[in-house]
Structures are given as structure tokens and as C-alpha cells.
């Protein structure tokens, strides 16, 4: 059996195509064969050519007129960080190429069309789409990046970044575009909201996985919920303005959400004006997308007498009519005041199922069809989402819905003491035909949230080719900066946080499946194996326990994103103690196997004491909604440590 870290090791390459090819002439090919690159999200179409382009340290960059400046800046940054020393410029391609030429721009530009033609490639015609073509020509080479629009070009640059980490730049024609028009996150959790620094980093991360939407909706922002009628103080508006500018640079649509439901008077023109004023203040900052959240409220009572006079006695149906009236007025206001305004988004009070009801019927009948409706699936935290579920939601709400996916959010009681680090899974391929998009609700911990959100973005981009485990490994590799040892340590840690709870008693993803499989093999070897099999299993467990214990130190060594290590600190501290408990448990089994009763009993007792200490480690106060003891592979590791002393009889053994 391989060691635990080795068992979790994933293939990665840290050297760039440019550094691999330093000193070689442009246009030659490597001796190694061309291989299909591992890209996340998976592209729609890749035609792999024969051979790899050898790239030198000098590149000629041709930028089509009017090209998105952020894409150009990012391309230059990627080239420089990959070892390019000289970036020349030109306006047109020469007849014969004697250098590497890189052409970027939108597909309608003449120089881009010419480059695509010489590469035997056609432009992708979908919104946010792009084409990336690379070909060797004589003593030179040509790489073309053609965006259908500015967003598509920026997405293409993200793919170029990944290809630059491939060992040799492959000859290929890649066409790509998203399956869903809305992909990203909604900061909609309870508990401590993210800092502005974390939000800025998150926007950069979203761009790297080709997401395009971030909804600002922290439940604990008083000016967006409890005190929504009050204007933001100038200092907070200034910080929000910086965040909006960061989103714009990264081609992320910044959506401002407000939650007036607990106190709004739906029929009061004064409340409508206050909503308009709040949105107008954000519009000055550059926000053109707005959202009204009506979730987590009581809808069978009115907040004002005027609503009772206008809509009659409170009921679910009356609430749907009242909400539609206010939302339609907000949409009309957006249309009148902002030509660039995107459709209003709303989350209904019945967001958690697709069952027919008087409330949904009222919304379906009265809501402006331009307004986008969100929905969380078949439950607040659904165990799975199928195409049939989305079709039922379309029927119930009268339009395709935008999925609010409550994973990996950890703001409900069943998540106390947990990070949710399992892969994004159990969403049926083909959902893109029935949804307008997916927004994940992340954890209070921004950097650890990227593990699952990478999967959400990849699924939203290409749900039909989505591979949950491969994307999971990719997320670890990115956090580890491509370092193999650090990637393996992260995968070991992720496994201890694999459990994905629901609002009920049964999780929708199990805890520590890889660790459990390894420990079950040890149990089987002890119970059923011969002497040699038993000895070897215990020897392997000793090694694996040492690797498990070392994982937190590797994660905190500085190779891995410091924000991840900081936000996961109590979990890493607890894992380290649990690792020592596992080491002592393995030592106890080894002593028992050698019939050393006293040593075995001592090891087992010390292991159980460490387990008590590990269980006492608490979450960081006031970060998550519910504070409590840290959970590490609970139900798997703790169970093994507790029962290990019973696996080999020790009563009649020899002593030290």
C-alpha cells in the first residue's frame, strides 16, 4: 500500500513552456509527443496537432486595435513571469515568420481574422467565447487568441495561462464558450462577512476559473438588510467602489444585493424611493446589476397597515402579488435610469423547492418576465440536483431559474466545526439546458471556499464534460502553486473535511472516504491476513500516520496560499494532534503485534488522551455563525483510534 500522501499525489508540472524551451530555436518541436492538455474548466473543443512548439525568450506581440486593455496587460504579465525577456510589437503578420508571433484581439479585427486563417481555425461565435490556435511555421510560430467579445478574450487569456504551465506549448486549435451565462458566487452567508481584501482576492480567483459574476449580499451588512433604508457612510462606499473597479478589471459582473424583506412596506412609494436611492448610490460607483433578496422572511404577515389595505389579509398568495408589484417597479426604475442596467435578480421567499404553491403561482402570474428568479434546488441544501428538478422549477416559477447552490456554505448548525472541502458533485450533466446559471454560496473562509467554487465554475462553463475529482485535484494544485508535495498534503487535508451535511441527519457526501478506505484495509489485514500481511499493514500504517501528521506543517510552510493556511489554522492544528494520535495508535498496534502488552497499552492510552485534546480545539470565535469544536475526519479517525486497542488481544502478552 502506498503512503497516504503518495496515495493522494496528483500529477502537476511547475515549469513553464518558455523556460522548458530556453535556448532553442522558435518553431522546432520537443522530442516528447504532444498530449492533450488538462484544462479547467474543460474546453468545448480541442483539436490537438502533431508536436509541440518550442518557445524562445523573445516574442512579437500583435494587439488588434480596440483590444481589451486588461487582457493585454494580463498577457504581458504571463509572458514575463514565464521567462520571456523581450516582447516586441508589430501591427501585421509578415509573410514569413522567423519568430514566435502572438496575435490577440476580438475576432472581427482584420489582423485576428488573418491569423486565424493562417492557423486553419475559425472564430467561436458564442457570447464569452474565444478561439486559441497555435501552429509552427517555418522557423517561426504563431499563437492566435481571438475573443468573440472582450469577455471571451479575457477568458482565453486564462486558458493561455494554463497552457504556459504545460511542458511544451501544444499545437492545437481550441474553441470554447460557456454553457451557462451566469457563473460565480453570492456572498450570502450568515456570520462574519469577508474582508474587502478577501473579496478582492476572490474576484481575481473567479476570473482565473472563467466565472463572471459576484453578488455582494452579506447577511451581516446592516446597510443591506436590517438598516437598508439608511445610506452607506462615505468610507464604506469608497471601499465598495474599489471592489467594483476590481471586478470590472477582471471582467466580473458586480451585483449589489439588498434584503429589505424583514421590514419593507411593499405598497409604500417611500420605500420604493429608498430602494432607488440605494441603487443610485451604487450606480455612481459603476454598478449596473442589482438584486432584491426576499429569502428568510415571514410572508404571512405584513410589515405595514398600507399593505393590508392594498393586498388584503396576509397570505402566501398575497405575498407573491405584493413582492411582484415592488419588484416590477424596481425593474421599471432600472430601465428608466440606466441604459446599461442588467435584469434585476430576485430570490423568492419559497426558494427551497419546486412544488406548486399559491405563492409561486402569484409570482409566475405577476412578475415581470425580465426579472431573474433564484432557487436553491429541492431543499435549502439539496443532496443532488437533477435535470428533472430544474425542469420542475421552470414550471413552478414560469421561467428558467438561476441556481443558488448552498455549497460550500458553512453557516448552518450541521456544519459547526467544519470546512466543506469535498468536490462539487451530484449535479447532473445537462443542467445548462434548464438553468440560466449557478451562483455558489461560499464559506465564511474565502480561500478554502475556492476548492468547491472551482468546481462550480467549471461545471457552469461546461457541465457535460465536468470531472469532479479532476477539478478537485486542480484546485489543490493551484493553491499549492504547483508543488507536488504541497498538493498531496492539501488532498490529505481535504479528505478530512469531505463530509457535506444537509439540513437533515444524512450528509450528501461522506466523511474522509480515502482515509476510511485505508483504515479499513488495516482492519481487514489484521482480521483476515496471515502474519506477514498483518505485519506489513501495520508497518504501512506507521508510515501513513507520519505523512498524515506532517501535512499541516507542509500546508503552513509558505508554499501554499497563506490566506488558506491562515483561515484553516484551527483545523490544521487539530489535524496535527489527531495525526500524533494516529501515530501512537499505529505504534500500539505494532507493539501488540509483537506481543508487548505494556507498550501497546501505553501507546493506546496516550493516543486516546491526544484524541481528547484534539476534540477540544475550537473554531475561531465569531467567524462562523456557529462556534464549536473542530471536526477532523469525524466518524472515521476518532472511531479507529478508539477501537484499535481491541483489534489485537493484549491481556496475555509479554511486557517490556
CA torsion 382→386→387→391, rounded to 10°?
Answer: -40
Active site residue 307: no
Query: From CA 439, how far away is CA 188, in angstroms rounded?
Result: 10
Contact 176, 155 (CB under 8 A): yes
Contact 57, 237 (CB under 8 A): no
Query: From CA 130, how far away is CA 69, in angstroms rounded?
Result: 16
Closest listed residue to residue 502, CA positions, set 414, 419, 443, 424: 414
Contact 500, 407 (CB under 8 A): yes
Question: Phi, psi (5° rounding) for residue 389?
Answer: -65, -45
- Share of the chain residues as helix, strand and coil, in percent rounded to the nearest 5: 45, 15, 40
Sheet bearing 45-53, strands edge to edge: 45-53, 169-176, 130-137, 140-147, 100-106, 58-63, 86-89
Query: From CA 600, how far away is CA 331, in angstroms rounded?
Result: 71
Query: From CA 306, how far away is CA 268, in angstroms rounded?
Result: 7
Nearest 5°: CA angle at 462, between 461 and 464? Answer: 155
In DSSP terms, 5 is beta-bridged to none
Query: From CA 110, how far away is CA 481, in angstroms rounded?
Result: 38
Question: Of the residues 98, 220, 268, 296, which is catalytic?
Answer: 296
Question: Phi, psi (5° rounding) for residue 101?
Answer: -110, 135
Query: From CA 520, how far away is CA 640, in angstroms rounded?
Result: 9
CA torsion 591→592→596→597, rounded to 10°?
Answer: 130
Question: Phi, psi (5° rounding) for residue 15?
Answer: -90, 140
Query: From CA 363, how far away is CA 318, in angstroms rounded?
Result: 10
Query: From CA 226, how far away is CA 92, in angstroms rounded?
Result: 58
Question: Please, which residues have CB within 8 angstroms of residue 548's CB and are 6 or more apart in sequence?
Answer: 4, 5, 492, 515, 575, 579, 582
- The set of catalytic residues is 296
Amino acid at each position: 500500500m502506498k503512503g497516504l500522501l503518495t496515495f493522494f499525489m496528483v500529477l502537476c508540472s511547475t515549469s513553464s513552456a518558455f523556460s522548458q524551451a530556453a535556448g532553442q530555436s522558435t518553431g522546432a518541436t520537443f522530442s516528447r509527443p504532444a498530449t492533450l492538455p488538462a484544462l479547467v474548466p474543460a474546453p468545448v473543443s480541442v483539436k490537438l496537432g502533431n508536436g509541440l512548439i518550442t518557445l524562445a525568450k523573445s516574442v512579437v506581440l500583435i494587439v488588434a486595435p480596440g483590444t481589451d486593455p486588461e487582457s493585454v496587460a494580463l498577457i504581458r504579465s504571463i509572458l514575463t513571469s514565464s521567462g520571456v525577456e523581450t516582447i516586441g510589437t508589430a501591427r501585421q503578420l509578415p509573410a514569413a515568420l522567423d519568430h514566435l508571433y502572438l496575435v490577440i484581439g476580438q475576432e472581427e479585427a482584420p489582423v485576428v481574422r488573418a491569423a486565424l486563417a493562417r492557423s486553419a481555425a475559425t472564430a467561436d461565435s458564442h457570447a464569452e467565447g474565444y478561439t486559441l490556435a497555435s501552429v509552427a511555421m517555418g522557423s517561426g510560430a504563431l499563437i492566435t487568441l481571438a475573443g468573440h467579445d472582450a469577455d471571451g478574450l479575457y477568458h482565453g487569456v486564462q486558458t493561455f495561462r494554463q497552457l504556459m504551465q504545460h511542458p511544451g506549448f501544444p499545437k492545437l486549435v481550441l474553441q470554447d464558450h460557456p454553457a451557462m451565462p451566469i457563473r460565480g458566487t453570492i456572498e450570502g452567508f450568515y456570520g462574519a462577512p469577508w474582508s474587502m481584501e478577501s473579496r478582492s482576492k476572490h474576484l481575481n480567483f473567479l476570473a482565473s476559473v472563467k466565472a463572471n459574476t459576484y453578488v455582494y449580499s452579506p447577511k451581516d451588512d446592516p446597510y443591506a438588510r436590517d438598516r437598508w433604508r439608511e445610506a452607506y457612510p462615505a468610507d464604506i462606499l469608497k471601499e465598495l467602489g474599489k471592489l467594483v473597479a476590481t471586478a470590472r478589471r477582471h471582467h466580473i459582473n458586480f451585483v449589489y444585493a439588498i434584503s429589505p424583506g424583514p421590514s419593507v412596506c411593499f405598497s409604500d412609494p417611500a420605500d420604493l424611493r429608498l430602494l432607488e436611492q440605494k441603487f443610485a448610490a451604487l450606480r455612481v460607483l459603476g454598478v449596473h446589476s442589482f438584486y432584491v433578496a426576499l429569502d428568510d422572511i415571514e410572508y404571512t404577515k405584513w410589515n405595514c397597515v398600507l399593505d393590508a389595505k392594498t393586498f388584503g389579509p396576509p397570505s402566501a398568495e398575497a405575498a407573491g402579488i405584493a413582492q411582484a408589484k415592488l419588484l416590477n417597479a424596481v425593474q421599471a426604475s432600472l430601465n428608466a435610469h440606466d441604459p446599461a442596467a442588467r435584469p434585476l435578480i430576485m430570490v423568492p421567499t419559497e426558494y427551497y423547492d419546486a412544488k406548486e404553491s399559491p405563492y409561486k403561482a402569484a409570482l409566475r402570474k405577476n412578475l415581470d418576465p425580465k426579472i431573474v428568479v433564484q432557487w436553491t434546488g429541492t431543499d435549502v441544501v439539496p443532496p443532488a440536483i437533477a435535470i428533472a428538478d430544474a425542469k420542475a422549477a421552470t414550471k413552478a416559477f414560469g421561467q428558467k431559474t438561476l441556481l443558488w447552490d448552498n455549497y460550500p456554505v458553512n453557516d448552518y448548525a450541521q456544519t459547526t466545526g467544519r470546512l466543506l472541502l469535498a468536490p462539487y458533485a451530484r449535479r447532473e450533466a445537462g443542467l445548462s439546458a434548464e438553468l440560466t446559471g449557478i451562483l455558489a454560496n461560499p464559506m465564511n473562509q474565502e480561500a478554502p471556499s475556492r476548492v468547491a467554487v472551482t468546481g462550480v465554475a467549471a461545471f457552469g462553463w461546461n457541465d457535460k464534460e465536468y470531472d469532479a475529482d479532476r477539478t478537485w485535484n486542480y484546485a489543490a494544485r493551484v493553491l499549492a502553486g504547483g508543488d507536488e508535495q504541497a498538493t498531496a498534503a492539501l488532498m490529505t487535508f481535504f479528505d478530512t473535511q469531505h463530509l457535506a451535511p444537509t439540513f437533515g441527519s444524512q450528509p450528501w457526501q461522506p466523511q474522509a472516504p480515502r482515509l476510511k478506505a485505508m483504515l479499513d484495509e488495516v482492519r481487514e489485514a489484521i482480521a483476515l491476513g496471515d502474519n506477514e500481511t498483518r505485519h506489513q499493514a501495520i508497518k504501512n500504517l506507521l508510515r501513513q500516520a507520519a505523512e498524515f501528521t506532517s501535512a499541516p506543517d507542509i500546508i503552513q510552510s509558505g508554499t501554499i496560499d497563506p490566506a488558506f493556511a491562515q483561515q484553516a489554522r484551527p483545523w490544521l492544528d487539530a489535524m496535527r494532534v489527531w495525526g500524533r494520535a494516529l501515530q501512537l495508535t499505529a505504534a500500539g498496534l505494532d507493539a501488540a503485534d509483537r506481543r508487548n502488552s505494556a507498550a501497546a497499552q501505553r501507546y493506546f492510552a496516550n493516543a486516546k488522551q491526544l484524541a481528547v485534546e484534539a476534540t477540544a480545539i475550537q473554531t475561531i470565535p465569531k467567524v462562523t455563525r456557529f462556534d464549536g469544536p473542530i471536526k477532523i475526519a469525524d466518524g472515521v479517525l476518532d472511531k479507529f483510534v478508539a477501537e484499535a486497542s481491541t483489534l489485537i488481544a493484549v491481556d496475555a502478552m509479554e511486557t517490556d
